[in-house]
Amino acid sequence: MTHLYETARALVAPGKGILAADESDGTIKKRFDSIGVESTEENRRAYRDLLFTTEGAEEFISGVILYDETIRQSSADGTPFARLLESKGIVPGIKVDKGAKPLALTEGETITEGLDGLRGRLEEYRGLGARFAKWRATYSIGPGKPSEYCVWTNAHALARYAALCQEAGLVPIVEPEVLMDGRHTLEEASKATGRVLQAVYVELHDQRVDLRGTLLKPNMVLSGYEAPVRAGVREVAEATLECFYRHVPAAVPGIVFLSGGQSDEDATAHLNAMNQTGPHPWELSFSYGRALQAPALKAWGGDAANLTDAQQAYLHRAKLNGAARFGRYSEDMEREAVAA
Protein backbone atom coordinates (compact mmCIF):
# COMPACT_ATOMS: atom_id res chain seq x y z
CA MET A 1 0.00 0.00 0.00
CA THR A 2 3.00 2.32 0.36
CA HIS A 3 2.88 3.43 -3.28
CA LEU A 4 -0.81 4.29 -2.86
CA TYR A 5 -0.01 6.53 0.09
CA GLU A 6 2.73 8.25 -1.92
CA THR A 7 0.46 8.82 -4.91
CA ALA A 8 -2.35 10.17 -2.74
CA ARG A 9 0.01 12.60 -1.04
CA ALA A 10 1.48 13.67 -4.39
CA LEU A 11 -2.00 14.54 -5.65
CA VAL A 12 -2.51 16.94 -2.73
CA ALA A 13 1.00 18.39 -2.71
CA PRO A 14 1.12 21.95 -1.29
CA GLY A 15 0.01 24.58 -3.79
CA LYS A 16 -1.34 22.05 -6.27
CA GLY A 17 -4.64 20.46 -7.27
CA ILE A 18 -6.26 18.26 -9.89
CA LEU A 19 -7.59 19.12 -13.35
CA ALA A 20 -10.77 17.16 -14.11
CA ALA A 21 -10.58 16.61 -17.89
CA ASP A 22 -12.88 13.58 -17.79
CA GLU A 23 -15.97 15.06 -19.43
CA SER A 24 -18.17 12.43 -21.05
CA ASP A 25 -18.97 12.70 -24.76
CA GLY A 26 -22.27 14.40 -23.91
CA THR A 27 -20.73 16.91 -21.52
CA ILE A 28 -17.85 17.91 -23.76
CA LYS A 29 -20.34 18.35 -26.62
CA LYS A 30 -22.25 20.88 -24.51
CA ARG A 31 -19.00 22.72 -23.76
CA PHE A 32 -18.05 22.78 -27.44
CA ASP A 33 -21.57 23.83 -28.47
CA SER A 34 -21.18 26.88 -26.24
CA ILE A 35 -18.25 28.07 -28.37
CA GLY A 36 -19.60 26.88 -31.72
CA VAL A 37 -17.12 24.01 -32.18
CA GLU A 38 -18.08 20.56 -33.46
CA SER A 39 -17.35 17.80 -30.96
CA THR A 40 -15.24 15.51 -33.14
CA GLU A 41 -12.62 13.11 -31.82
CA GLU A 42 -9.84 15.26 -33.30
CA ASN A 43 -11.22 18.50 -31.83
CA ARG A 44 -11.48 16.86 -28.42
CA ARG A 45 -7.91 15.58 -28.74
CA ALA A 46 -6.62 18.98 -29.83
CA TYR A 47 -8.35 20.74 -26.94
CA ARG A 48 -7.00 18.31 -24.33
CA ASP A 49 -3.55 18.60 -25.96
CA LEU A 50 -3.75 22.36 -25.49
CA LEU A 51 -4.33 21.92 -21.76
CA PHE A 52 -1.79 19.16 -21.18
CA THR A 53 1.06 20.92 -23.02
CA THR A 54 0.66 24.24 -21.18
CA GLU A 55 4.13 25.21 -19.96
CA GLY A 56 4.28 25.82 -16.22
CA ALA A 57 0.92 24.21 -15.38
CA GLU A 58 2.78 21.51 -13.45
CA GLU A 59 3.58 24.13 -10.80
CA PHE A 60 -0.10 24.16 -9.83
CA ILE A 61 -1.56 20.93 -11.25
CA SER A 62 -0.65 17.66 -9.53
CA GLY A 63 -2.88 15.28 -11.49
CA VAL A 64 -5.32 15.06 -14.38
CA ILE A 65 -8.45 12.89 -14.52
CA LEU A 66 -8.82 11.49 -18.04
CA TYR A 67 -11.77 9.97 -19.90
CA ASP A 68 -11.65 6.55 -21.60
CA GLU A 69 -11.17 8.15 -25.01
CA THR A 70 -8.55 10.60 -23.77
CA ILE A 71 -6.25 8.09 -22.06
CA ARG A 72 -5.98 6.33 -25.42
CA GLN A 73 -5.08 9.51 -27.31
CA SER A 74 -1.74 11.19 -27.95
CA SER A 75 -0.28 14.66 -28.25
CA ALA A 76 0.42 16.19 -31.66
CA ASP A 77 3.96 14.78 -31.53
CA GLY A 78 2.67 11.24 -30.95
CA THR A 79 3.35 11.07 -27.20
CA PRO A 80 0.50 9.27 -25.36
CA PHE A 81 -1.24 11.72 -23.05
CA ALA A 82 -0.56 9.67 -19.92
CA ARG A 83 3.16 9.58 -20.72
CA LEU A 84 3.17 13.30 -21.54
CA LEU A 85 1.66 14.14 -18.17
CA GLU A 86 4.07 11.84 -16.32
CA SER A 87 7.01 13.57 -18.03
CA LYS A 88 5.84 16.84 -16.46
CA GLY A 89 5.48 15.29 -13.00
CA ILE A 90 1.67 15.28 -13.30
CA VAL A 91 -0.10 12.09 -12.19
CA PRO A 92 -2.51 10.64 -14.79
CA GLY A 93 -5.86 9.29 -13.57
CA ILE A 94 -9.04 7.89 -15.08
CA LYS A 95 -12.81 8.20 -14.63
CA VAL A 96 -14.18 4.65 -14.35
CA ASP A 97 -17.88 4.94 -13.50
CA LYS A 98 -20.55 4.57 -16.19
CA GLY A 99 -22.67 7.48 -15.02
CA ALA A 100 -25.63 8.12 -12.73
CA LYS A 101 -28.77 6.26 -13.75
CA PRO A 102 -32.32 6.32 -12.26
CA LEU A 103 -32.44 4.45 -8.95
CA ALA A 104 -35.19 1.82 -9.10
CA LEU A 105 -38.34 2.51 -7.09
CA THR A 106 -37.49 6.14 -6.34
CA GLU A 107 -38.64 9.48 -7.71
CA GLY A 108 -35.76 11.43 -9.20
CA GLU A 109 -32.84 9.76 -7.38
CA THR A 110 -29.84 8.08 -8.99
CA ILE A 111 -27.40 5.22 -8.59
CA THR A 112 -24.02 5.21 -10.32
CA GLU A 113 -23.34 2.18 -12.49
CA GLY A 114 -20.09 0.62 -13.68
CA LEU A 115 -19.13 -2.11 -11.21
CA ASP A 116 -19.62 -4.92 -13.74
CA GLY A 117 -16.27 -5.66 -15.33
CA LEU A 118 -14.53 -2.98 -13.32
CA ARG A 119 -11.67 -5.23 -12.14
CA GLY A 120 -10.63 -5.90 -15.75
CA ARG A 121 -11.00 -2.26 -16.79
CA LEU A 122 -8.84 -1.10 -13.88
CA GLU A 123 -6.12 -3.53 -14.92
CA GLU A 124 -6.25 -2.16 -18.48
CA TYR A 125 -6.17 1.47 -17.34
CA ARG A 126 -3.18 0.80 -15.13
CA GLY A 127 -1.44 -0.62 -18.18
CA LEU A 128 -2.29 2.57 -20.07
CA GLY A 129 -0.57 4.64 -17.37
CA ALA A 130 -3.30 5.57 -14.88
CA ARG A 131 -2.23 5.79 -11.25
CA PHE A 132 -5.54 6.87 -9.72
CA ALA A 133 -9.25 6.63 -10.55
CA LYS A 134 -12.50 8.47 -9.91
CA TRP A 135 -16.11 7.41 -9.31
CA ARG A 136 -18.94 9.94 -8.87
CA ALA A 137 -22.26 9.46 -7.08
CA THR A 138 -24.95 12.15 -7.04
CA TYR A 139 -27.63 13.09 -4.51
CA SER A 140 -30.38 15.72 -4.63
CA ILE A 141 -31.72 17.87 -1.80
CA GLY A 142 -35.49 18.15 -1.52
CA PRO A 143 -38.53 16.75 0.32
CA GLY A 144 -37.45 13.28 1.44
CA LYS A 145 -34.15 13.59 -0.46
CA PRO A 146 -31.63 12.25 -0.29
CA SER A 147 -33.43 9.11 0.89
CA GLU A 148 -31.70 6.57 3.11
CA TYR A 149 -32.01 4.14 0.21
CA CYS A 150 -30.13 6.47 -2.15
CA VAL A 151 -27.52 7.38 0.49
CA TRP A 152 -26.61 3.79 1.37
CA THR A 153 -26.80 2.16 -2.06
CA ASN A 154 -24.41 4.76 -3.48
CA ALA A 155 -22.12 4.50 -0.45
CA HIS A 156 -21.93 0.74 -0.96
CA ALA A 157 -21.07 1.16 -4.65
CA LEU A 158 -18.42 3.80 -3.91
CA ALA A 159 -16.77 1.49 -1.39
CA ARG A 160 -16.83 -1.50 -3.75
CA TYR A 161 -15.18 0.65 -6.40
CA ALA A 162 -12.56 1.92 -3.92
CA ALA A 163 -11.65 -1.60 -2.79
CA LEU A 164 -11.21 -2.76 -6.39
CA CYS A 165 -9.00 0.26 -7.10
CA GLN A 166 -6.69 -0.47 -4.20
CA GLU A 167 -6.52 -4.13 -5.23
CA ALA A 168 -5.42 -2.95 -8.69
CA GLY A 169 -2.81 -0.56 -7.27
CA LEU A 170 -4.74 2.63 -8.05
CA VAL A 171 -5.66 5.41 -5.62
CA PRO A 172 -9.46 5.77 -5.55
CA ILE A 173 -10.91 9.26 -5.53
CA VAL A 174 -14.29 8.89 -3.87
CA GLU A 175 -16.74 11.50 -5.18
CA PRO A 176 -20.10 11.76 -3.39
CA GLU A 177 -21.66 14.92 -4.83
CA VAL A 178 -24.67 16.44 -3.12
CA LEU A 179 -26.06 18.64 -5.86
CA MET A 180 -26.57 22.28 -4.99
CA ASP A 181 -29.46 22.93 -7.38
CA GLY A 182 -32.62 24.16 -5.70
CA ARG A 183 -33.76 26.56 -2.98
CA HIS A 184 -32.35 24.79 0.07
CA THR A 185 -30.64 26.59 2.94
CA LEU A 186 -27.04 26.28 4.03
CA GLU A 187 -28.21 24.21 7.02
CA GLU A 188 -30.11 21.79 4.80
CA ALA A 189 -27.06 21.38 2.58
CA SER A 190 -24.90 20.66 5.61
CA LYS A 191 -27.31 18.04 6.93
CA ALA A 192 -27.57 16.24 3.59
CA THR A 193 -23.81 16.33 3.02
CA GLY A 194 -23.14 15.01 6.52
CA ARG A 195 -25.53 12.08 6.05
CA VAL A 196 -23.87 11.15 2.78
CA LEU A 197 -20.33 11.38 4.17
CA GLN A 198 -21.19 9.35 7.25
CA ALA A 199 -22.56 6.50 5.12
CA VAL A 200 -19.59 6.59 2.75
CA TYR A 201 -17.05 6.20 5.55
CA VAL A 202 -19.01 3.42 7.24
CA GLU A 203 -19.01 1.49 3.94
CA LEU A 204 -15.34 2.21 3.19
CA HIS A 205 -14.43 0.86 6.62
CA ASP A 206 -16.62 -2.22 6.27
CA GLN A 207 -15.13 -3.02 2.87
CA ARG A 208 -11.54 -2.85 4.19
CA VAL A 209 -10.47 0.22 2.24
CA ASP A 210 -7.27 1.80 3.58
CA LEU A 211 -8.19 5.47 3.92
CA ARG A 212 -4.54 6.54 3.77
CA GLY A 213 -4.54 5.50 0.12
CA THR A 214 -7.70 7.41 -0.87
CA LEU A 215 -8.84 10.96 -1.56
CA LEU A 216 -12.29 12.49 -1.09
CA LYS A 217 -13.84 14.64 -3.82
CA PRO A 218 -16.98 16.21 -2.32
CA ASN A 219 -19.21 19.22 -2.83
CA MET A 220 -18.77 22.30 -0.69
CA VAL A 221 -21.69 23.15 1.59
CA LEU A 222 -23.59 25.87 -0.26
CA SER A 223 -27.02 27.48 -0.23
CA GLY A 224 -29.15 26.26 -3.14
CA TYR A 225 -28.40 28.12 -6.35
CA GLU A 226 -32.05 29.26 -6.48
CA ALA A 227 -32.26 30.11 -2.76
CA PRO A 228 -33.74 33.57 -2.02
CA VAL A 229 -30.80 34.34 0.28
CA ARG A 230 -27.39 32.80 -0.35
CA ALA A 231 -24.57 32.40 2.16
CA GLY A 232 -21.40 34.43 1.72
CA VAL A 233 -17.86 33.16 1.28
CA ARG A 234 -17.00 33.05 4.98
CA GLU A 235 -20.27 31.33 5.91
CA VAL A 236 -19.74 28.69 3.25
CA ALA A 237 -16.18 28.03 4.45
CA GLU A 238 -17.26 27.69 8.07
CA ALA A 239 -20.25 25.43 7.30
CA THR A 240 -18.18 23.21 5.02
CA LEU A 241 -15.37 22.80 7.54
CA GLU A 242 -17.77 22.08 10.40
CA CYS A 243 -19.45 19.35 8.36
CA PHE A 244 -16.18 17.74 7.32
CA TYR A 245 -14.67 17.84 10.79
CA ARG A 246 -17.69 15.85 11.97
CA HIS A 247 -17.60 13.18 9.28
CA VAL A 248 -14.23 12.80 7.51
CA PRO A 249 -11.53 10.76 9.30
CA ALA A 250 -8.13 12.37 9.75
CA ALA A 251 -6.51 9.36 8.02
CA VAL A 252 -7.73 10.72 4.66
CA PRO A 253 -4.72 12.57 3.15
CA GLY A 254 -6.72 15.17 1.30
CA ILE A 255 -10.07 16.60 0.28
CA VAL A 256 -10.13 17.74 -3.37
CA PHE A 257 -13.30 19.77 -3.71
CA LEU A 258 -15.39 19.77 -6.88
CA SER A 259 -16.66 23.10 -8.15
CA GLY A 260 -20.21 21.83 -8.77
CA GLY A 261 -21.55 24.64 -10.91
CA GLN A 262 -19.96 27.50 -8.97
CA SER A 263 -18.42 30.37 -10.90
CA ASP A 264 -14.66 30.22 -11.39
CA GLU A 265 -14.21 33.02 -8.86
CA ASP A 266 -16.52 31.56 -6.21
CA ALA A 267 -14.88 28.12 -6.36
CA THR A 268 -11.47 29.73 -5.81
CA ALA A 269 -12.67 32.13 -3.09
CA HIS A 270 -14.38 29.39 -1.07
CA LEU A 271 -11.30 27.16 -1.17
CA ASN A 272 -9.13 30.11 -0.19
CA ALA A 273 -11.32 30.96 2.81
CA MET A 274 -11.11 27.41 4.12
CA ASN A 275 -7.33 27.32 3.80
CA GLN A 276 -6.99 30.64 5.63
CA THR A 277 -8.23 28.96 8.82
CA GLY A 278 -5.83 26.00 8.82
CA PRO A 279 -3.98 23.88 9.51
CA HIS A 280 -6.53 21.08 9.06
CA PRO A 281 -6.22 17.30 9.45
CA TRP A 282 -6.33 16.91 5.67
CA GLU A 283 -4.96 18.91 2.75
CA LEU A 284 -7.77 21.03 1.31
CA SER A 285 -7.34 21.14 -2.44
CA PHE A 286 -9.32 21.27 -5.69
CA SER A 287 -10.37 18.93 -8.48
CA TYR A 288 -12.06 21.35 -10.85
CA GLY A 289 -13.27 20.84 -14.39
CA ARG A 290 -15.18 23.75 -15.83
CA ALA A 291 -13.93 26.14 -13.11
CA LEU A 292 -10.36 25.59 -14.39
CA GLN A 293 -11.14 25.26 -18.08
CA ALA A 294 -13.84 27.82 -18.90
CA PRO A 295 -11.53 30.78 -19.68
CA ALA A 296 -9.26 28.57 -21.80
CA LEU A 297 -12.17 27.06 -23.72
CA LYS A 298 -13.54 30.50 -24.54
CA ALA A 299 -10.14 31.85 -25.57
CA TRP A 300 -9.45 28.82 -27.80
CA GLY A 301 -12.74 28.82 -29.68
CA GLY A 302 -11.60 25.88 -31.79
CA ASP A 303 -8.92 27.95 -33.55
CA ALA A 304 -5.30 26.75 -33.37
CA ALA A 305 -4.20 30.38 -33.79
CA ASN A 306 -5.55 31.05 -30.29
CA LEU A 307 -3.44 28.33 -28.65
CA THR A 308 -1.16 30.67 -26.70
CA ASP A 309 -4.02 32.81 -25.38
CA ALA A 310 -5.95 29.74 -24.32
CA GLN A 311 -2.96 28.25 -22.51
CA GLN A 312 -2.31 31.53 -20.71
CA ALA A 313 -5.94 31.65 -19.58
CA TYR A 314 -5.73 28.08 -18.22
CA LEU A 315 -2.39 28.72 -16.54
CA HIS A 316 -3.69 31.86 -14.84
CA ARG A 317 -6.76 30.03 -13.45
CA ALA A 318 -4.53 27.21 -12.19
CA LYS A 319 -2.21 29.76 -10.55
CA LEU A 320 -5.11 31.42 -8.71
CA ASN A 321 -6.28 28.08 -7.33
CA GLY A 322 -2.70 27.26 -6.37
CA ALA A 323 -2.69 30.50 -4.34
CA ALA A 324 -5.99 29.49 -2.72
CA ARG A 325 -4.30 26.31 -1.49
CA PHE A 326 -2.24 28.55 0.79
CA GLY A 327 -5.06 31.02 1.58
CA ARG A 328 -3.26 33.68 -0.47
CA TYR A 329 -5.84 34.33 -3.18
CA SER A 330 -7.49 37.75 -3.48
CA GLU A 331 -9.98 39.39 -5.82
CA ASP A 332 -7.20 41.73 -6.91
CA MET A 333 -5.67 38.78 -8.74
CA GLU A 334 -8.85 38.49 -10.83
CA ARG A 335 -8.70 42.19 -11.74
CA GLU A 336 -5.04 41.87 -12.64
CA ALA A 337 -5.96 39.15 -15.11
CA VAL A 338 -8.59 41.36 -16.74
CA ALA A 339 -6.16 44.29 -16.91
CA ALA A 340 -3.49 42.09 -18.49
Q: What CA–CA distance (Å, rounded) separates 219 from 295?
A: 22
Kindly name the residue from 16, 217, 283, 319 that is annotated as catalytic.
217
Q: What CA–CA distance (Å, rounded) separates 322 from 328?
A: 9
Q: What CA–CA distance (Å, rounded) separates 4 from 79?
A: 26
Q: What CA–CA distance (Å, rounded) separates 137 from 61?
A: 24
Residues 6+ away with beta carbon under 8 Å from 36: 301, 302
The CA-based angle 196-184-153, given to 5 degrees, is: 25
The conformation of residue 282, written as its DSSP 8-state character, comes to S
Sign of torsion over alpha carbons 56, 62, 67, 70: positive
Kindly name the residue from 23, 109, 175, 177 that is annotated as catalytic.
175
Pair 18, 285: CB distance under 8 Å: yes
Strands (E), the chain: 17-20, 61-66, 91-95, 100-102, 110-112, 132-139, 171-178, 215-216, 254-257, 283-288
The phi and psi torsions of 103 (rounded to 5 degrees) equal -80, 125
Give the largest Cα separation in the chain, rounded. 54
Examine the residue annotation and report whether 175 is marked as an active-site residue of this protein: yes
Q: What CA–CA distance (Å, rounded) separates 48 from 28?
A: 11
Q: What CA–CA distance (Å, rounded) separates 310 from 222?
A: 30
Counting DSSP H helices and E strands in the chain, the numbers are 13, 10
Q: What are the residue numbers of the active site?
A: 175, 217
